[in-house]
């Protein structure tokens, strides 16, 4: 945008077919040509290039030829150096076989592989290993929560600086650094396994009713194993340092290398692969947890996965990710600073930056002194900030559901933890990936402008908001639970798990192992008064249970014919699960369909030179306002619906065992609707505030920088003349 104050939205200089003529312009003619409103006149009358005309005779004066001692090859070399396009390779070594990958698709392939690796480690292996790490290294839940949050803390601290300085740097090399840090973080995260010694099994806990005391005394003890907390935090900090360039500079590099209408498709594909990573991480981590933690130890044959003392080999996945991440360093390091054809692509792009009152200086953003001013410049962009707040609100509910959807399914529909986690992953991962790809494809297919992309995101958010009320109708009431909602055959009191039938069993409330008998669920076989079990049957069954009404005494000889209770929760009579999963899958698709259009809108509505910094600010706010508080808010809300807590012998409240299903569903609807309203509000406000460049004004990236281009070009040209 050109104004009396100067030139807004300065971008880096693209090369174009007429760059040689611009480089040969004299200083007196540079300013006139820069403000020409008709670029076609620059290509007319080629004969006049040999002789300058008077400015009064033509709206655009012709350009003189280059000095005779400067060759055309020197000028072409000078123009191409602005983007440093080059072959794929290292220094003077450029194998021909690598040149076929020196394209946007080749870079996208490497980008996707690194995004998948990062997703496998950060959102897959770490999450599925947390409970095992908590048991192995004797940590409390809030400490493992600190481990999980360390990645976001690192990302927030580094995102602004990496995106600011990386914008003018060699972005593929920054991604090579990202691959190195992700691999190093994965390696460091696995180190405690090799320095903590062999895992020692404790004594086997008896889950049936026994007269001998199972209880433990109230003693507080500390273990040196918990000191490995700092190693895990260091690993997460390193992973955060690697993830920062990936999602800021990597996204900006993709946007640089392809035409505007294809950018959304490439970005959407890259983001979809980052969602695929956690799915692979969960599958890989789940399979590795079926192996004993100390793989080469013979003692592993003495315990099975059903044994509470079992711990799986959580660390193997991190070693595999370390090797794979470091194998990507070489491909990224061989890419040039800009892919071949970038200059021509940039010359054909048109700025869609939001027109505000601020102007950028030509040398703005090249030193650390410009960093505060660069932040202020973006913060004053009202459209950009509205989009950032919109994505932050959306991130809050997506991360909240990603964390607690399995728990919601488990409690609402009476499923096991593993099956609920499988269903949750089967809905979240494909839905999110499909939404990302669909959003990018539709924006690319219809060649949406910045404003139309925002409108499309507003529409998809509106659909997701409407469907969010499914939680009110697709919920289930709690099944009968002895001591909570049902008495022990008319004895005992509601709210107490102790009744005359199990008073002498010395049961522990810290050992939750639900069994179902007579259509009623019991906290554990001990609280059901079961004195005998058949361990070789699947699921495990119990008999001679004093708290379950029975007609005849069951003996050991009849153990294969009948039983009074079986391990697991009672089968629910609620049939809303299929409806819930289908509608929630659609919600996820429409929610993530808005992600790529919003990212593209952010890239378009800011100064071209500040796109990486804009993404850095977006991800910082997204974590500060979304991914960090999201699980905390969801967890606090879900805990408020608890009706039975774990209380140990010291009287300390632990985890929640039973929730009020109806209240939980209503509370989650309240959070979802509130966040969706905030998302829609800021998205709609951004559309109202957005002011595109006037359609009659040529604001291509090339013409935005004509003055700067030619001033710098003249200086470089004079240098070439002197050296020639």
Q: 316 with 372, same domain?
A: no
Give me the pLDDT at residue 326, please. 96
Q: 638 with 508, same domain?
A: no
Q: 485 with 459, same domain?
A: no
Cα separation, 37 vs 258, whole angstroms: 26
CATH number for the domain that contains residue 379: 1.20.1250.20
Average confidence score pLDDT of the chain: 75
Give me the pLDDT at residue 239, please. 94
% the chain with pLDDT above 90: 19
Give me the pLDDT at residue 352, please. 65
Q: 276 with 383, same domain?
A: no
For residue 699, pLDDT beyond 50: no
Q: What is the pLDDT of residues 93-144, one digit of tens each?
A: 888 878 888 888 989 999 999 999 999 999 888 888 887 887 788 777 667 7
For residue 13, pLDDT beyond 70: no
% the chain with pLDDT above 70: 73
Give me the pLDDT at residue 683, please. 94
Give me the pLDDT at residue 350, please. 64
Whether 173 contacts 249, CB under 8 Å: no
Q: What are phi and psi of 638, to 5 degrees?
A: -65, -40
671: closest CA among 363, 324, 396, 348?
Answer: 396
Within a domain: 712: no
For residue 46, pLDDT beyond 50: no
Angle at 493 between CA 488 and CA 495, to 5 degrees: 105
Q: Identify the weakest region by mean pLDDT among 104-118, 215-229, 254-268, 379-393.
A: 215-229
Give me the pLDDT at residue 42, please. 39
Within a domain: 463: yes
Residues 6+ apart with CB under 8 A from 647: 509, 653, 654
- Of the pLDDT bands very low, low, confident and very high (cuts 50, 70, 90), residue 186 is very high
For residue 268, pLDDT beyond 50: yes
Q: 544 with 582, same domain?
A: no
Q: 374 with 467, same domain?
A: yes
Within a domain: 39: no
Within a domain: 257: yes
Q: 167 with 268, same domain?
A: yes
Within a domain: 716: no
Q: 465 with 487, same domain?
A: no
Q: 447 with 484, same domain?
A: no
- Of the pLDDT bands very low, low, confident and very high (cuts 50, 70, 90), residue 700 is very low
Give the residue numbers spanning the domain of 320: 104-195+228-295+303-345
Within a domain: 170: yes
- Of the pLDDT bands very low, low, confident and very high (cuts 50, 70, 90), residue 546 is confident
Within a domain: 88: no
Give me the pLDDT at residue 259, please. 85
Q: What is the pLDDT of residues 374-432, one digit of tens each?
A: 888 888 899 999 999 999 999 998 888 887 888 888 888 877 776 777 788 788 888 88
Q: 612 with 501, same domain?
A: no
Q: 469 with 484, same domain?
A: no
Give me the pLDDT at residue 354, please. 62
- Cis before 539? omega within 30: yes
Q: What is the pLDDT of residues 631-688, one digit of tens each?
A: 888 888 888 888 887 776 666 676 677 888 888 888 888 999 999 999 999 999 999 9
Q: How many CA atoms lie within 13 A of 316 on its CB side?
A: 16
CA distances to 98, 411, 471 from 419, in Å: 45, 12, 20
Within a domain: 450: yes
Count of structural domains, the chain: 3
Its pTM stands at 0.70
3-state secondary structure of 303: coil
Q: 246 with 138, same domain?
A: yes
For residue 223, pLDDT beyond 70: no
């Amino acid at each position: 945008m050109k104004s009396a104050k100067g030139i807004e939205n300065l971008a880096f200089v693209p090369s174009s077919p007429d760059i040689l003529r611009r480089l040969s312009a004299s200083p007196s003619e540079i300013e006139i040509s820069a403000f020409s409103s008709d670029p076609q006149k620059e290509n007319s009358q080629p004969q006049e290039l040999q002789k300058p005309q008077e400015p009064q005779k033509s709206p655009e004066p012709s350009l003189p030829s280059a000095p005779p001692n400067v060759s055309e090859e020197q000028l072409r070399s000078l123009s191409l150096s602005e983007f440093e396009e080059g072959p794929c390779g290292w220094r003077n070594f450029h194998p021909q076989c690598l040149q076929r990958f020196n394209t946007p698709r080749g870079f996208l392939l490497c980008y996707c592989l690194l995004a998948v690796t990062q997703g496998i480690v950060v959102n897959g292996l770490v999450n599925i290993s947390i409970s095992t790490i908590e048991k192995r290294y004797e940590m409390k839940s809030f400490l493992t929560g600190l481990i999980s949050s360390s990645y976001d803390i690192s990302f927030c601290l580094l995102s602004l600086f990496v995106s600011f300085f990386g914008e003018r740097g060699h972005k593929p090399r920054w991604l090579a650094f990202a691959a190195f840090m992700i691999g190093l973080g994965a390696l460091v995260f696995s180190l405690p396994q090799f320095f903590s010694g062999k895992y020692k099994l404790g004594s086997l806990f008896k889950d049936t009713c026994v007269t001998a005391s199972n209880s433990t005394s109230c003693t507080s003890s500390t273990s040196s194993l918990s000191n490995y907390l700092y190693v895990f935090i260091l690993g997460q900090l390193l992973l955060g340092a690697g993830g920062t360039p990936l999602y800021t500079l990597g996204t900006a590099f993709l946007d640089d290398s392809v035409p505007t209408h294809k950018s959304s498709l490439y970005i959407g594909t890259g983001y979809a692969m980052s969602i695929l990573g956690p799915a692979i991480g969960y599958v890989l981590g789940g399979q590795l947890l079926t192996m004993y933690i100390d793989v080469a130890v013979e003692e592993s044959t003495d315990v099975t996965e059903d044994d509470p003392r079992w711990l799986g080999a959580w660390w193997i996945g991190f070693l595999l990710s370390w090797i794979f991440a470091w194998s990507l360093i070489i491909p990224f390091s061989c890419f040039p600073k800009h892919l071949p054809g970038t200059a021509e692509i940039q010359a054909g792009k048109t700025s869609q930056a939001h027109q505000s009152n601020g102007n950028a200086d030509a040398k703005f953003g090249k030193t650390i002194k410009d960093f505060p001013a660069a932040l202020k410049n973006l913060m004053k962009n009202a459209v950009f900030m509205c989009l950032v707040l919109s994505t932050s609100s959306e991130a809050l509910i997506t991360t909240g559901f990603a964390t607690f959807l399995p728990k919601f399914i488990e409690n609402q529909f009476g499923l096991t933890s593993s099956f609920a986690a499988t269903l949750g992953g089967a809905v979240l991962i494909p839905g999110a990936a499909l939404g990302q790809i669909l959003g990018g494809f539709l924006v690319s297919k219809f060649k949406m402008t910045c404003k139309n992309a925002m409108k499309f995101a507003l529409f998809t958010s509106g659909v997701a908001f409407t469907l969010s009320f499914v939680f009110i109708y697709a919920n289930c009431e709690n099944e009968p639970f002895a001591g909570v909602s049902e008495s022990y055959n008319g004895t005992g009191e509601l709210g107490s798990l102790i009744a005359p039938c199990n008073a002498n069993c010395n049961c522990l409330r810290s050992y939750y192992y639900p069994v179902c008998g007579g259509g009623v669920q019991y906290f554990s076989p001990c609280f059901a008064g079961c004195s005998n079990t058949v361990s070789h049957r699947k699921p495990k069954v119990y008999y001679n249970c004093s708290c379950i009404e029975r007609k005849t005494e069951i003996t050991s000889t009849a153990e294969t014919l009948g039983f009074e209770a079986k391990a697991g929760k009672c089968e629910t009579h609620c049939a809303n699960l299929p409806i819930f999963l289908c509608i929630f899958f659609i919600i996820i698709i429409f929610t993530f369909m808005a992600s790529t259009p919003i990212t593209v809108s952010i890239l378009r509505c800011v100064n071209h030179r500040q796109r990486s910094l804009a993404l850095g600010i977006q991800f910082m706010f997204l974590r500060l306002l979304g991914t960090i508080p999201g699980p905390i808010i969801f967890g606090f809300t879900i805990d408020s619906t608890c009706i039975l807590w774990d209380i140990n012998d010291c009287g300390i409240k632990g985890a929640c065992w039973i929730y009020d299903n109806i209240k939980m569903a209503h509370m989650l609807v309240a959070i979802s609707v509130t966040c969706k309203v905030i998302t829609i509000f800021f998205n709609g406000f951004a559309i109202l505030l957005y002011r595109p460049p006037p359609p009659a004004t040529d604001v291509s990236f090339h013409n935005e920088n004509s003055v700067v281009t030619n001033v710098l070009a003249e200086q470089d040209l004079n240098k070439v003349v002197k050296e020639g």
